[in-house]
Structure 1
Amino acid sequence: MFNDSSRRLADGIRAWIVTASPGARLPSTRQLVTEYAASPVTVQKAIRSLAAEGLIECRPGVGNFVRTPRSTRPHDYGWQTAALGSLRSTLPSVAGALRTAAPGAQELHSGYPEAELLPGRLVRAALIRAARGASATSRPAPAGLQDLRSWFATELAGLTPAGFAAPTANDVVIVPGSQSGLTSIFRALVAPGQPLLIESPTYWGAILAAHQAGARLVPVPSDADGPDPDELDRSFRETRARALYVQPNYANPTGAQWSPARAEAVLDLVRAHGAFLVEDDWAHDFGIDTDPWPVAARDTAGHVVYLRSLTKSMSPAIRIGALIARGPVRDRFLADRSAESMYVSGLLQQAALEVVTDPGWKTHLRRLRVQLRERRDLLVDSLREHAPRLHVDHVPRGGLHLWARLPEGTNTDRLVRDCETEDVYVASGHEWFPAEPSGPFLRLNFTGPNPNGFPAAARTITAALASQQ
């Protein structure tokens, strides 16, 4: 672990190396201690850092020397062009949602909450306990730890109405995050070239996973209550699709939550067409004004494939999710996951189980609801006051984002670049459309660092819009 003093010392030696000749000997440790007023330990840390970068060569008993550059012949990879052949599919670009912000910038583009909103203490303690147990050296079952599968099943069972069959641990497959789960689901349900109905706009990761599976995406328009039943019925009849991907609770990016009536109508259509409903309950832990209503809780015949992840609400380092399905389709998912990765890290599974069964987890979620409401309202108020040309048609009742409509004709790519030059990072809405976008939008995350900077960020967006007039 390098501290600030060793980094400063390394920077000083690095500047000296730039002017030194290859093979030149560095000053001794004693000389560096004297020259930089540093401790021997700090000097050794700096030396190790420079050696790891390949700038110096350490010769025990002799000294440390500036590494002599080796002349290398440029590699020729032209042969790979013929071996690889043409691309089987062109994957959509998602660089905007994943780009790393500059230090200190206002991050409104990310899809993750900042560390302050995560149960850091619980996660660290859980990792320590898990590392001391058998999970640190044992191989878990391909479907996952029994106790963790039981927890996921119990969570969904607790929302299942009386008279409906509740899921059990045998219906659950643990996956390394929802993205991996989506990939397995689409591979199992949709053969290459076959249609997949998908809400528009929707999560870019689902669009990417569907492209990887070779599915033919068929967008279905969706409003604040969910997909239009008549349009959905027409799409099923015209395409003969056998799967529909949706996010009924706090959809990414719009934040929409289906009404119970709309959920029942959609589920009836799925049953009537003998299809699967892929329910991505990504924001289950992010309710603000309402609680989530999983459609899977009302499934009676295995039509709903339910996916839930703990990654965003627990920690980006704990990539743990669950796929819940009933009938033969569950076996297909398990076979795909086993072929893909054999099993999910038992250590991470045990750590996740330690967190969700700790009494502090429920306390954290209650506190998180209050924090999310404060941040959401602050960003909404900031946009209304300082960026009135952005229209938030629907204030989400949960989730992490606002979906803001831009004035017609806005060049969103240019807007994103102009904001970034002012250290405000926003995400263009184009990435959330499976086909052509219906208009210019921004997706804005209200759970990033420095919520006090929301008003200034809104003014920056307004200035960037004004420059396009």
Structure 2
Amino acid sequence: MSDGSSIETLLAILRTEIARLAPGDRLPSSRDLITRHGVGPVTVSRAIAQLAAEGAVVTRPGSGTYVTARPPATTAAPDTSWQSVALAGRHIDARHEETAPQEPAAGAANLSGGYLHESLQPAKTLGAALARAARRPDAWHRAPAAGLATLRALFARQAGGDHTPEDVLVTGGGQNALSMLFRATAAPGAPVLVESPTYPGALAAARAAGLRPVPVPMDAQGLRPDLLADAFAMTGARLLYCQPTVHNPTGTVLAPERRRQITDVARAAGAFLIEDDFARHLGHGRPLPRPLAADDRDGTVVHLTSLTKPASPSLRIGAVVARGPVLHRLHSLRRADDFFIARPLQEAAVELLSTPAWDRHLRSLGTELRRRCAVLSGAVARELPDWAPAAPPEGGLHLWLRLPPGLTEEAVVDAARAHRVAVDAGRRFFPAEPPAAHLRLAFAAAADPVELSEAARRLAAAARTAH
């Protein structure tokens, strides 16, 4: 039994026991709970901590754990209707939340989400890095607003070209960086050009900043420079958001001849190009092209990267690499938003990136992602031949599938849920009306390749009931 399920089981038992006790009664000791329920001391400690956080118990060191007084029962629901008036005039677009994938049900085969399964995360390496960081004498000192100099140097080297640590601002992950960038580079109401499809989190951040996402079509070679130039001319946009290296959700890598063209088109329009390089470490064992930022000296390209995807969802460390007034504006936003990123997490990131274990992790991760991609692609081709992608992605965590005629995303997603498999509907990846029905299938979120094959089998069974 996993630690999580052990804790939930013990919590359910203790809540039942607390309901029978009176306020002030003492719960069994930790030693008694360990013996009685066959769980470890960590499980007991976390369960008691959860109950204390809920206000159900209070712990008294040296004495024990006691049931607290129960709050008086209330029958009237809280009345928050007044907030509609107070919040009038400021709207946050809720489409991203409304279409966001739900947590997979227990026992479901997971083809949903954008993070590595815990078995693919370098947990021991992360733990060791955090432990070493915590032993630094200045680990809890205030961090520089721009980030630790050593960490900024590492990100500058990754961006390539002649970038220096002074061009880098450390952020709280990629999503935090996107939120800052959209607010820093365009005024509310302004258009922002995006690939179609694109990352839903970028659409949510842009809309929250009051921007209007405008779609620019892609093909098998990535964003189309000719249509990009037309979009700049028609909209007057001064901002482009794109993912030229392992695009989410399609996995496309922008063709070599287009990489310079895209930057040139943006520069000619007097626009910023936000390069989301989230998948820099998610290649499938093959070399990826260098960032667009590496060949840009004029500050057209604003480079964004993160450690979250190749390491762990909770390693909320990213970076923006930029030049000129836009970087100064980002520094101003940092001082207004949160002052600085927590130093212990930055120190842990430095430790992580500086150890040979990180390079070993990236090599093994690339091999495993390639294997999982092949397994899921083969299973889809076998079980759902009409859904097979045109070509396997060159990197990343997903397959992007176009549904055959007669199937809707809603019907397939609902049928898949009924067959205990979680998938992501394609419409949330489009800034406007989707041209067709799609699904995004994650091959990194499952426990192992066996689950991927089983998920494809369940999805095929679901498709037969979704017509």
TM-score of the pair, normalised by structure 1: 0.89
**SS of 2:309's equivalent?**
helix
Indicate yes or no: 2:225 matched with 1:236.
no
| Structure 1 contact 140–346 (Cα < 8 Å) conserved | yes
Letter of the structure 2 residue corresponding to residue 102 of structure 1: A
Structure 2: distance between partners of 1:457 and 1:420 = 11
| Unaligned stretches of 5+ residues in structure 1 | 161-165
Q: Aligned match of 2:459 in 453, 458, 461?
A: 461
Offset of residue 71 of structure 1? 2.6
Give the alignment of 1:12-91 within 5 angstroms.
12=13, 14-16=15-17, 18=19, 20=20, 36=36, 52-55=53-56, 64=66, 67-72=69-74, 73-91=76-94
Deviation at 1:125, TM superposition (A): 0.7
In 2: Cα distance, 1:4 partner to 1:264 partner: 51
Q: Tell me: CA distance 1:361–1:409, structure 2 relative to 1, closer, same or farther (3 Å).
A: same
CA distance in 2, matches of 1:461, 1:5: 30
CA deviation map 1:200-246 (0-9, x unaligned) = 00000110110011111110001221221221111111111111110
Amino acid paired to 2:202: A
Does residue 286 of the first structure (1) align with residue 289 of the second (2)?
Answer: no
CA distance in 1, matches of 2:357, 2:64: 55
Rounded to whole Å, the distance in 2 between the matches of 1:226 and 1:136 is: 43
Q: Using a 3 Å threshold, how does the CA distance of structure 1 residues 311 and 135 change in structure 2: closer, same or farther? A: farther
Superimposed CA distance per residue, residues 29-51 of structure 1 (whole angstroms, 9 cap, x where no aligned partner):
69x78x95889x89986777655
1:363-374 alignment runs, 5 A limit: 363-374=360-371
- Bigger Rg over Cα: 1
| Residue deviations 1:125-183 (CA, integer Å, cap 9, x gap) | 110111111342211111111111111111222xx3xxxxx111111111110111111
| TM-score (norm. length: structure 2) | 0.89
Q: Is the 8 A contact 1:57 1:67 kept in 2?
A: no
Counterparts of 2:289 and 2:180, CA distance in 1: 24
Separation in 2, partners of 1:209, 1:177: 13
Local SS of the residue matching 1:389: helix
For the pair 1:106 / 2:104, whether they are aligned, the reply is no
Stretches of structure 2 lacking an aligned partner (at least 5 in a row):
none
How far is the alpha carbon of 1:352 from its aligned partner? 0.4
**Could you say which residue in structure 2 is the equivalent of 1:433?**
430
- 1:312 counterpart (309, 312, 315): 309
Cα distance 1:358–1:8, how it changes in 2: closer, same or farther (>3 A)? closer
Q: Which moved more, 1:247-256 or 1:3-12?
A: 3-12
- Structure-2 separation of matches of 1:298 and 1:10: 56
2:212 maps to amino acid: R
- 2:449 corresponds, among 445, 448, 451, to 451
Amino acid at match of 1:111: G
Q: Which moved more, 1:410-419 or 1:421-430?
A: 410-419
AA partner of residue 385 (structure 1): R
C-alpha distance 86-119 of structure 1, shift in aligned 2 (>3 A): same
Measured after TM superposition, the shift of residue 422 of structure 1 is 2.4
Matched, 1:380 2:367: no
Cα deviation 1:287-335 (Å, max 9, x = unaligned): 1134233111111211100001011112222111110011111111111
Matched, 1:174 2:170: yes
Q: Distance in 2 between matches of 1:306 and 1:413?
A: 35
Kept in 1: contact 2:159–2:321 (CA 8 A): no
Query: Alignment partner of 2:95: what SS?
Result: coil
CA distance in 1: counterparts of 2:251 and 2:207, whole angstroms = 24
Q: Is the contact made by 1:21 and 1:66 (CA closer than 8 Å) also made in structure 2?
A: no
Question: Where does 1:131-150 land on structure 2 (aligned, <5 Å)?
Answer: 131-150=134-153
**Counterparts of 1:227 and 1:49, CA distance in 2:** 48
Give matches, 1:268-347, under 5 Å. 268-288=264-284, 289-347=286-344
**Is the 1:94–1:204 contact (alpha carbons within 8 Å) kept by the matching residues of 2?**
no
Alignment pair present for 1:359 and 2:356: yes
RMSD: 3.1
**Aligned match of 2:159 in 152, 156, 179?**
156
Offset of 1:68 from its aligned partner? 4.3
- The yes-or-no answer on 1:218 pairing with 2:220 is no
Q: Does 273-282 or 446-455 show the bigger shift? A: 446-455
Q: Which amino acid aligns with 1:320?
A: I
